[in-house]
Every structure is written in C-alpha cells, then in structure tokens.
A and B are shown apart, each in its own frame.
Chain A
Amino acid sequence: MMRVPTYTKQTARTSKTGATAFSVRADPNALSAGLRGLSTLASAAETYVVNEVKERRKSELTAKENQYKIALQELQVEMSTQDPTLVMEGGIRNGNAVKSYDARAKEIRDGLGLDINSSVVRKRFMSSATQEALQERVSVYQDARNREIDANKATELQAAELLFQDAATGGANKKTNALLKLFGGVDAGGNQVTGIFDNMAERRYLTEVQAFQYTQNFKQRLDRSDVRGRLTAADASDDPGQADQIVQDIGDPRNFTNLKQEDRDTHLKQAVDLAQALRRRQVANAEKREKTDKRDQTKRHKTTARALLAKIQKFKAEPDNPTYKAQLPRPLEIAEALALDQINETTAKLLTGLLNDEDAEQRDPALILDIFDKIGDAETPDEIDEQLDRLDGKIGAGGKVPLNDAINLQKYGDSKKANTRESGDIKFYQNQLNDLTGQTAFRLSGIGVGADEIKRQLDAEDTYRRLVLNPDGPLKPRDAYLEVAEQFVRARKANINFLAPASFLQRFFNGETPETWTRESVAAARQSIQNEPDMSHLEKALEFETLDLIIVEIEKIQEAAVVGEPQDGDTPRGSWFGNWSIFNRNSLRDQQNDLRNPD
C-alpha cells in the first residue's frame, strides 16, 4: 500500500501587527521660531511706536518750551523799560490797565498751552513753563527793583548835584544852606541836619563807604571849583597880581583843605602858568594895540587922502563945475586933517602941491600899466593894496603918475576888491586886447616885435585903461576894446608907433598916408575935436595926444625927406584909412621902403 501524502500548513501566522512606533518628533522650538520672530518683530514695532510717540511728544514739548522762552525773553526786554512798580504789581498807566510780569507770563503760557492737542504734552508744558517763568521772574523782579533803587538813587544824586551848584556858584546864604544839606550839621534853629549822602546810606541807596566817598568827593570838587573860579576870574581880569595871590593861597595848606595833594599841585602849576601867561598877554596886548593903532592910522590916512585927491581930480577935470569947485579942499582943511592925524605929512604936501597945480611932470605908462595889470591879476585885497601902495611918492610934483591916473587906479582897485562885474570885464577885454596886439605873445616869448610895436602896444593898453577908468564917464570895457583895437590895427597898418586917430577924423586927412600928412590937416582935426560935443574930456585929450604925436611924426618925416621921395603935401598913393588890414602885407610903407632902399 502506498503511503498517501498529506499537507499540513508550514507557516505560522506572525504575531506582528504591522504597526511601528513612530520616532518622528516635532521640535517645538523650530516650529515656533517663526512666531518668535514675529514676536520680536512685534516687539520692535511696539518699541518703535512707543519711541515715536515719545519723540513726537518730546519734540512738541521742546518746540513749545522754546516758543515760551523766546516770548519770555521778549517780555523780559519789555519789562526792562517798564515802570518797576508796574512790572511787579501791574496797574494803570496813561489810563490803560497794565498787567504785571506774572500775569503776562501766565497769559503767554496759557495761550501756547491751548495750541497743544496732546493732554500729556500740555501738562508737561504747563509744568515746565511755570517753572521757567518762575526762574525768569527772579531776574525780572531783581532788575525792576534795581531800577527802582537806581532811579531813587539818581534822583538823590541829582539833588546833590544841584546842591553842589548852589554851593559852588550861589550867594553866601544859598551856599550855607547847600553845604548844610550836602554834608549835614546844625541849622539856624539848632536842629541837627543829616547830610544827603548819609541819608542815602540810611535808606540803603549807598553803602557807608560809598557815602563817605561821595562826601569826600563833593568836598574836593567844591575846593577844585573854588580854585577854578578864582583862576577864571584872574584870567578874565588880565591881572597877573590876582594870579600871584592864587599861587600864594594854594601854596598854603591851610587853604582848600579838602584838595588832594595832586590836585593842589596841578592847580598851583595852573596858577603859576596863568600868572606868566597874563604877563605875556599884557605885553602882547600892548603890542597888538600898537599894531592896531598903526593899521587904523594907515587906513585912516589912505581913506582921507583918497577922498581929498578925488575932489582935486574932479575939479581939475572940470574946473568950471561949481560943485567940484566948492568941494575942492582948502589949505586949512588939509592942515586940520594933518593935525587930526587924518593924513600924513607927505600926503599933506602932495595935496597942497596939487592945489597949486603941481602934478607929475612926467607920465610913466609902463609903471601905470604894470600896476593896472597887477591889480587885474590880484586875487586878494592885500595884493591889490600892495599894488596901490606903489603909487606912494609917485603922485604930485616930481612923480611919474599924474593925479588922474592915480585916482583911476585906486578906483579900479576898489572895484576889483568889491569883485564887481565891471572889474571882471575890464580884465577880460584887457586880455583880449593884449592878445590882439601881440602883447601877450611878446610878454611870453619876448621876441617877434620891434620897438615901435612895443610902443604901439603900450599905447593901446594905456588908452584902453584910461578909457575904461575915466572917472568922468568910463567907456564900457567892450566898447573901449573895440575902439582901441580898431585904432591899433590902423596904426600898425600905417606903421606908426602910437594909436591911429579916431575914425571920425578921417575926413581931415582925406585918406592920406602918414607920409603925406600936413600940419594944416592936423590943425583942422584939432579944431574938429574941440568942437565935438559928444566926446569926453579924456577922449579929447587922447585924440589931442595922438595929433601931437602925428605932428612929431610929420617933423621926423620932413627931417628925413630926400629929394625925389614923396614930400609933405604930395598926392598920396592910396588911402590908409580905407585899405587897412592886418593881413595886407603889400602896404604903402613896404612900397616906400622898396623905393628908398632899392637893392
């Protein structure tokens, strides 16, 4: 029999469940790291917000505190000019209520506090502002009190100054009262009076030391004032004896007992110096008086002499004028003037001589013109006087300046001193004339003209001067300039060394050249001048002088006449009146020279 196999299960069922214990563990720290970080962030944010709020509050508080400080400073400045009582207590001024410093400070504080929204900041501000105001209050009140004391002290010191003035300059009674009030003592009623400085010390306006110093100072000032007063009086008196007495008094220590030694020394020196100065002043005054007297005398002499000379000159110009004749000085009048020191002896002799028709026999045109020129150039009255003084000794008999010229120059000098327009015009046209005649160029260079030209120039200038200074009726400088210029040009054309005759005399010479002038035509011209009603004495005199010179010229020509040359009375070759021109170089004289001096 075959064995039958069977099967029995081999595998046992496992006891495992398939589940395992997890070893995974969550790490709380790692898991919560994010939240911790957020926590840190939140913390930082909170800190930030807190700080921000703190800063904002602090900033706002600081800003307000600063505003308050500035306002307080302004208030302090304002209070420094206020009445101290009003500063401390307030009150009424000019009808208006004025608040005290405390009230004003509180007002400002409250006003600023209202602007703060945060109650925390407002509380802090109010607290600090109150503290600040209190601190400032101390200095404001101190200042007010000081000013109050200072004002009272100033009032007292001012009173002391007034008392000092009374003591220094007042009468005896006033002085006694002032000294009593200043330094104290017993009054007339036997009452003890406290001095003003001691009184101030009692009221604590001054310390005791200061009161003593003020007292000493005022006493010293009084002594100094006394000495100065005496020095001033001595100075005003001009008496060296008074100064000597002061020297003695100051030197004695029993006098001016409050003077400090250095002040005493100073005043002693001042007194000595004053005494010396007064002595010097005495001498100087005497010299000054002497000089002044001399100057006054000279001035008096000049004025009187000129007045008398002018009267004589007027009479000589118009001898028939009864007024001038009546004003003519008499010899007795001259003698009286001399006796009264109105004129000097030289002038008296001159005047007497002039009354006896003694005038300068010669006339020095160069001297007269020089004086005339220099008066024109003078810039100060002294310079003018210096030129007029050159006339001294030149007038009258033996002189070279006729009375007329002297008077004219003196009048020109006066006019120049007064800086009149006339004197300016005279100088201006004189310069114009000099430029025209070539005198300016000659004066500058000294070359280019001959002797006849110089004489012609001098004659032109002299004529101009006499015309503009004519005391009887001076020509206007411009008219004189035009007239003299025309005559000068004609004279140069005619080659004569004096000015040509006036235009209206042309008809007597019928356009003749100097070489053909005749004595008859000159006589006719002379007659015509005498009959001319519109010409002044001076103009006539000048024309007569010209005619005289023409006669001299005729004589010269006749003496030099050579047979065959043109003779007196010959038909003239041309009219020198009609053809004159300073540019005409082909003149008759040139032609004559050619004939006389054939090469």
Chain B
Amino acid sequence: MGFLFEYQAGQQKQAAFNYNSDINERNALAFEQQAEQAEFQSELEITEFREQYADLRDAQAQAFRYNGWLAEEGTPLKVMLASAQEADEEVATRRYNAAVGAQEIRESGVQEKMQGQLNRMYGKSAATEGKARAFASLIQTGSAINSAGA
C-alpha cells in the first residue's frame, strides 16, 4: 500500500507548487497593470504640462507683444522656440522616465512569471517523482513477494 502514499505525496506537492505558481502569475499581472498605470499617469502629467506650457507660451507672446516686439520673428521667436524646445525635452524626459519606471515594474512581473513557471516545473517534477516512487514501491513489494514466494 506504500505506493499509494508515495503517489499521493507527489500529487500534493504538485498542487502546492501549482498554487504558488498561480500566485506568481497573479503578481505578474498586478505588476503589468502597475506598469501601465505608471505610463498612464505619466501621460496625464504630460498633458497637464502641455497645458501649463501653452499658458506659458501665451504669456511669453503677450510679453513680447507688450514690449513691442513681434513675437513671430526675430529674437522673440528664437526665445519662444528655445522654451518650446525645453518643454519638448521635458515631455520626452518624463516619458522616458515613465517608461523606465514601467519597465522596472514589468521586470518584476516577468520575475513573478518566471517564478510561476519554475513552480509549475517543480510541481510536474514532484508529481513525476511521486509516481516514480509509487511504482518503485510497487515493484519492490512485488519483488519482495516474489522472493518470499520463491
């Protein structure tokens, strides 16, 4: 009867590993959502920044005009272009930073997935071990009986 316990032990080990694997996958999914949320938050901030910058640009054009300068040519234009350049870089930097942060989070998800896969492999291995031990036990019993019978 020992073979039945061996088999059952293997099955239970696999179930434990599979459970862990499910947790890992759930964590990976959470990390993915977290990464997307970070990117989305960054885009929201960028949109808000663009609105703030539009206000700044309008204020800049108004100041130039107030001073009597044509904002659409010459130095005012260059100044405005330089600010715009800065703002674009700001957006790019923000996006870059958000992407890096999301990537970090995704990496954690990947790690969880990998852990999950490992757990699945452990489970399969444990099940195989249980079956093999069960068969081994069965064969040993059979051999013992045969020897005893002989």
Q: Which residues of A contact B147 (CB under 8 A)?
A: 51, 55
Assess whether B128 is in contact with A38, with CB atoms less than 8 Å apart: yes
Q: In chain A between 6 and 47, which residues have their CB closer than 8 angstroms to a CB of chain B?
A: 6-14, 16-20, 22-24, 26-27, 30-41, 43-45, 47
Q: In chain A between 234 and 258, which residues have their CB closer than 8 angstroms to a CB of chain B?
A: none
Assess whether A9 is in contact with B86, with CB atoms less than 8 Å apart: yes
**B63 touches A (CB below 8 Å):** yes
Q: In chain B between 90 and 117, which residues have their CB closer than 8 angstroms to a CB of chain A?
A: 90, 93-94, 96-97, 99-104, 106-108, 110-111, 114-115
A20-B104 Cα distance, complex, nearest whole Å: 6
Assess whether B100 is in contact with A24, with CB atoms less than 8 Å apart: no
A40-B138 Cα distance, complex, nearest whole Å: 12
Chain A 150-176: CB-based contact to B (< 8 A → 1; otherwise 0) = 000000000000000000000000000
Assess whether B129 is in contact with A37, with CB atoms less than 8 Å apart: yes
Q: Which residues of B contact A19 (CB under 8 A)?
A: 103-104, 107
A45-B136 Cα distance, complex, nearest whole Å: 7
Which 5 pairs across A and B sit closest by C-beta, in order of nearness? A18-B103, A34-B128, A37-B132, A37-B129, A34-B125
Chain B 129-145: CB-based contact to A (< 8 A → 1; otherwise 0) = 11111011101101100
Q: In chain B between 44 and 100, which residues have their CB closer than 8 angstroms to a CB of chain A?
A: 53, 56, 59-60, 63-64, 66-67, 76, 79, 82-84, 86-87, 89-90, 93-94, 96-97, 99-100
A3-B64 Cα distance, complex, nearest whole Å: 8
B residues with CB within 8 A of A: 10, 17, 53, 56, 59-60, 63-64, 66-67, 76, 79, 82-84, 86-87, 89-90, 93-94, 96-97, 99-104, 106-108, 110-111, 114-115, 118, 121-122, 124-133, 135-137, 139-140, 142-143, 146-147, 150
Q: Which residues of B contact A450 (CB under 8 A)?
A: none
A51-B17 Cα distance, complex, nearest whole Å: 37
A9-B100 Cα distance, complex, nearest whole Å: 19
A-B contact pairs, 28 of them (CB 8 A): A1-B66, A1-B67, A7-B56, A7-B87, A8-B83, A11-B97, A13-B93, A18-B99, A18-B102, A20-B104, A20-B111, A34-B124, A36-B132, A37-B128, A37-B130, A37-B136, A39-B132, A40-B132, A40-B136, A41-B133, A41-B135, A43-B136, A44-B136, A44-B139, A47-B139, A48-B142, A52-B143, A52-B146
**A59 touches B (CB below 8 Å):** yes
Report the minimum CB–CB distance from B39 to chain A (whole Å): 12
A59-B103 Cα distance, complex, nearest whole Å: 72
Assess whether A5 is in contact with B132, with CB atoms less than 8 Å apart: no
Assess whether B111 is in contact with A24, with CB atoms less than 8 Å apart: yes
Report the minimum CB–CB distance from A20 to chain B (whole Å): 4
Q: A4-B79, A37-B129, A58-B150 are in contact. Are A27 and B122 (CB under 8 A)?
A: yes
Q: Which residues of A contact B103 (CB under 8 A)?
A: 17-19
Report the minimum CB–CB distance from A27 to chain B (whole Å): 7
Q: Which residues of B contact A47 (CB under 8 A)?
A: 139-140, 143
A43-B59 Cα distance, complex, nearest whole Å: 86
Which residue on chain A has the smallest CB distance to residue B90? A9
Report the minimum CB–CB distance from B115 to chain A (whole Å): 5
How many A residues are at the interface, by size bracket? 35 or more
Assess whether B60 is in contact with A45, with CB atoms less than 8 Å apart: no
**A560 touches B (CB below 8 Å):** no
Q: Which of A11, A17, A51 contacts B93, CB < 8 Å?
A: A11
Assess whether B67 is in contact with A2, with CB atoms less than 8 Å apart: yes
Q: Which residues of B contact A9 (CB under 8 A)?
A: 86-87, 89-90, 93
A125-B107 Cα distance, complex, nearest whole Å: 72
Q: Which residues of B contact A52 (CB under 8 A)?
A: 143, 146
Assess whether A16 is in contact with B10, with CB atoms less than 8 Å apart: no
Q: A33-B125, A34-B124, A41-B139 are in contact. Are A6 and B104 (CB under 8 A)?
A: no
- Most chain A CB neighbours (cut-off 10 Å) among B63, B64, B136: B136
Q: Which residues of A contact B90 (CB under 8 A)?
A: 7, 9-11
Assess whether A34 is in contact with B63, with CB atoms less than 8 Å apart: no
Report the minimum CB–CB distance from A58 to chain B (whole Å): 7
Which residue on chain B has the smallest CB distance to residue A22? B111
Assess whether A14 is in contact with B96, with CB atoms less than 8 Å apart: yes
Which residue on chain B has the smallest CB distance to residue A34? B128
A485-B147 Cα distance, complex, nearest whole Å: 105
A431-B46 Cα distance, complex, nearest whole Å: 165
Chain A 210-244: CB-based contact to B (< 8 A → 1; otherwise 0) = 00000000000000000000000000000000000
Q: A5-B59, A13-B97, A17-B100 are in contact. Are A51 and B128 (CB under 8 A)?
A: no
Assess whether B142 is in contact with A34, with CB atoms less than 8 Å apart: no
Assess whether A6 is in contact with B83, with CB atoms less than 8 Å apart: yes
Report the minimum CB–CB distance from B23 to chain A (whole Å): 14
Q: A14-B97, A40-B133 are in contact. Are A31 and B125 (CB under 8 A)?
A: yes
Assess whether A3 is in contact with B128, with CB atoms less than 8 Å apart: no
Q: Which residues of B contact A23 (CB under 8 A)?
A: 111
A8-B87 Cα distance, complex, nearest whole Å: 7
Assess whether B126 is in contact with A34, with CB atoms less than 8 Å apart: yes
Q: Which of A16, A30, A35, A41 contacts B136, CB < 8 Å?
A: A41
Q: Which residues of A contact B139 (CB under 8 A)?
A: 41, 44-45, 47-48
Q: Which residues of B contact A43 (CB under 8 A)?
A: 136
Assess whether B143 is in contact with A34, with CB atoms less than 8 Å apart: no
Assess whether B83 is in contact with A48, with CB atoms less than 8 Å apart: no
A23-B118 Cα distance, complex, nearest whole Å: 13
Assess whether B86 is in contact with A7, with CB atoms less than 8 Å apart: yes
Q: Which residues of B contact A40 (CB under 8 A)?
A: 132-133, 136
Q: A5-B56, A31-B121, A48-B139 are in contact. Are A55 and B94 (CB under 8 A)?
A: no
Assess whether A6 is in contact with B79, with CB atoms less than 8 Å apart: yes
Which residue on chain B has the smallest CB distance to residue A10? B90
Q: Which residues of A contact B107 (CB under 8 A)?
A: 18-20, 22
A47-B142 Cα distance, complex, nearest whole Å: 11
A34-B60 Cα distance, complex, nearest whole Å: 72
Q: Which residues of B contact A38 (CB under 8 A)?
A: 128-129, 132
A10-B46 Cα distance, complex, nearest whole Å: 12
Given known contacts A7-B87, A11-B90, A23-B111, what 14 new A-B pairs fall within 8 Å (CB)? A5-B59, A6-B83, A7-B83, A11-B97, A17-B100, A18-B103, A20-B111, A34-B124, A35-B128, A36-B132, A37-B128, A40-B132, A41-B135, A52-B146
Assess whether A22 is in contact with B114, with CB atoms less than 8 Å apart: yes
Assess whether A30 is in contact with B53, with CB atoms less than 8 Å apart: no
Q: Which residues of A contact B67 (CB under 8 A)?
A: 1-2, 4
A12-B56 Cα distance, complex, nearest whole Å: 20
Assess whether A37 is in contact with B133, with CB atoms less than 8 Å apart: yes
Assess whether B66 is in contact with A6, with CB atoms less than 8 Å apart: no
A24-B20 Cα distance, complex, nearest whole Å: 13
A32-B124 Cα distance, complex, nearest whole Å: 10
Assess whether A13 is in contact with B96, with CB atoms less than 8 Å apart: yes
A35-B140 Cα distance, complex, nearest whole Å: 18
Which residue on chain B has the smallest CB distance to residue A43? B136
Assess whether B129 is in contact with A33, with CB atoms less than 8 Å apart: yes
